[in-house]
Chains A and B, each alone.
Chain A
Amino acid sequence: MIKTDILIIGAGPTGLFTVFEAGLLKLKCHLIDALPQAGGQCSEIYPKKPIYDIPGFPEILAGDLTNNLLEQCKQFKPGFTLGERAEKISKDKNGMFVVVTSSGTKHQAPVIAIAGGLGSFEPRKPGLDNLNFYEGKGVEYIIKDPAIYKNKRIVIAGGGDSALDWSIYLADIAKEVTLVHRRNEFRGALDSLEKARELKKQKKINIITPAEITQLIGKEKLERIVITKNKVDTNIDLDHFIPLFGLSPRLGPIADWGLEIEKNAIKVDTFDYQTNVPGIFAIGDINTYPGKLKLILCGFHEATLMCQSAFKIINPGKKNIFRYTTVSGIDGFDGTRKEAKKPVIQSLNHND
């Protein structure tokens, strides 16, 4: 059981900044995210795109913002449960929330902060007959453990970064890698495109375009697929089929947590962004209230106010006063201290 003060669901910008604000109040945080890395949409959808409305940054790449937020909160030693989706919530006999993930990891905290953006990212699945039947029997949408593909025959479908990058990565591990895409052009980083071209030359990756997977075949598990190119079908024997058509967000199990939902978002009180369930807050893009704007900067503001109420729940009756970091400095949970330099006070008329 992982125990913490504030359990944050969603490791996007709002969730990461919550760690910092909570840390100033000596509260410890742990984050759960369905994606295998922190950053939410900023790292999953548009890491190389600029953002122009982060106060103090005339322009910053979404990926750099994520890295900065991780750097800013690291002295408060956040814990992470990544690649797992928060599924179930309950209260134990001590009034603590217990959240269990899709992989069964248990977390316990007195306060929950849902900073889940548009929801958890779920793989987009191609419309193929029997696809569901073969899930876990040769069809995977997310690569969690590349080692399982050692000496296997793999077919990857998709035309974006992840299809390219995983084809390149698995080319060294797998026995055979075939990349199938509907068009001849791929969308990816220049170095990935060049690497894929090179591996194709070396016959380490077989690239079939413009083509589509049209049929899945196999008795107990996936054994063969049909690839259709220019109306001609080709059968390929394989061990794994990995469709990588990106991810799309779903509110998912949070919708069943007894929270008031309006327009796919969680209703909150603007006093402290608490939901209708005391102790559960919703901050960032996932919440709604009159006048709500889905902006990262609004998420930062919401996280800051939320932490003040979280402190009162976690430390009932304890006195605390709001302070400026410039005045108080920052004491990290890792023993580090950041503080403003003291002015030098010396007489200029002293004669030795």
Chain B
Amino acid sequence: MSDINITIKDRDGHIHKILAPTDMAMNIMEIVRSYELAPEGTIGVCGGMAMCASCQCYVHSKHAIPEKGEEEEAMLSEAFNVKKNSRLGCQISLTKELEGLYLELAPEEL
């Protein structure tokens, strides 16, 4: 079994406990889209190139997530509603180490 359990709080405050595969080269943004936890067109707008901030999320659990790359840092520096635990979902790959991850989707930028 290569699935992990993760918990996602959507933009309306609803909590979703979901199973995410680690063998499909998916990232957090993609798992959110596949479970339709945010309306289509409001997340993953650039397709996952760290070129928009529509998949920004706040990581609440203390997992050792790989550090931000330069592109992610640059994008977050221009995003709104950024907090210390902000990450771009598209830059976090689903791996076994993320079992039990808890994150919250940042509000949609209007």
Given contacts A182-B77, A183-B77, A248-B109, contact A49 B49 (CB under 8 A): yes
Contact in complex: B40, A265 (CB < 8 Å) = yes
Stretch with Cβ within 8 A of B (4 or more), from A83-91, A99-107, A118-126, A313-321: A118-126
Q: Mark B31-47, 1 if CB is under 8 A from A, else 0.
A: 00000000111100110
Q: Mark B17-57, 1 if CB is under 8 A from A, else 0.
A: 00000000000000000000001111001100101101000
Q: CA–CA, A249 to B41, complex, Å?
A: 8
Residues of A192-232 at the interface with B, using a CB-CB cut-off of 8 Å, are none
Contact in complex: B78, A264 (CB < 8 Å) = no
Flag whether B3 is at the interface (Cβ < 8 A).
no
Flag whether A169 is at the interface (Cβ < 8 A).
no
Contact in complex: A160, B78 (CB < 8 Å) = yes
Binding site secondary structure of chain A: loop
Residues on the A chain within 8 Å of B97, using CB: none
Q: CA–CA, A289 to B87, complex, Å?
A: 32
Residues of A223-278 at the interface with B, using a CB-CB cut-off of 8 Å, are 245-246, 248-249, 251, 263-265
Residues on the A chain within 8 Å of B49, using CB: 45-46, 49
Binding site secondary structure of chain B: loop
Q: CA–CA, A264 to B108, complex, Å?
A: 14
Inter-chain CB contacts under 8 Å: number? 56
Contact in complex: A248, B54 (CB < 8 Å) = yes
Q: Mark A123-159, 1 if CB is under 8 A from B, else 0.
A: 0101100000000000000000000000000000011
* Nearest CB in chain B: distance from A263 CB, A: 4
Residues on the B chain within 8 Å of A251, using CB: 41
Flag whether A185 is at the interface (Cβ < 8 A).
yes
* Nearest CB in chain B: distance from A321 CB, A: 39
Flag whether B74 is at the interface (Cβ < 8 A).
yes
Residues on the B chain within 8 Å of A181, using CB: 77
Contact in complex: B45, A159 (CB < 8 Å) = no
Flag whether A187 is at the interface (Cβ < 8 A).
yes
* Nearest CB in chain A: distance from B62 CB, A: 25
Given contacts A159-B74, A159-B78, A187-B71, contact A246 B52 (CB under 8 A): yes
Contact in complex: A264, B39 (CB < 8 Å) = yes
* Nearest CB in chain A: distance from B72 CB, A: 11
Residues on the B chain within 8 Å of A182, using CB: 77-78
Residues on the A chain within 8 Å of B52, using CB: 45, 246, 248
Q: CA–CA, A45 to B74, complex, Å?
A: 15
Q: CA–CA, A253 to B35, complex, Å?
A: 28
Given contacts A248-B52, A248-B109, contact A263 B40 (CB under 8 A): yes
* Nearest CB in chain A: distance from B44 CB, A: 10
Given contacts A187-B74, A248-B52, A263-B39, contact A127 B45 (CB under 8 A): no
User: Which among B39, B46, B71, B80 is the interface contact of A124 at CB below 8 angstroms?
Assistant: B80
A-B CB proximity, top 9 nearest = A264-B41, A187-B74, A263-B40, A183-B77, A182-B77, A264-B40, A245-B78, A118-B41, A45-B46
* A interface residue numbers (CB < 8 A to B): 41, 45-46, 49, 118-119, 124, 126-127, 158-160, 181-183, 185-187, 245-246, 248-249, 251, 263-265
**What are 21 contact pairs spanning A and B, CB under 8 A?**
A41-B46, A45-B51, A46-B46, A119-B41, A159-B74, A159-B78, A160-B78, A182-B77, A182-B78, A183-B74, A185-B73, A185-B74, A186-B74, A187-B71, A248-B45, A249-B45, A263-B39, A263-B40, A264-B41, A265-B40, A265-B41
Q: A126-B80, A251-B41 are in contact. List 7 more A-B contacts (CB 8 A).
A: A41-B46, A46-B51, A118-B45, A183-B77, A185-B73, A187-B74, A248-B109
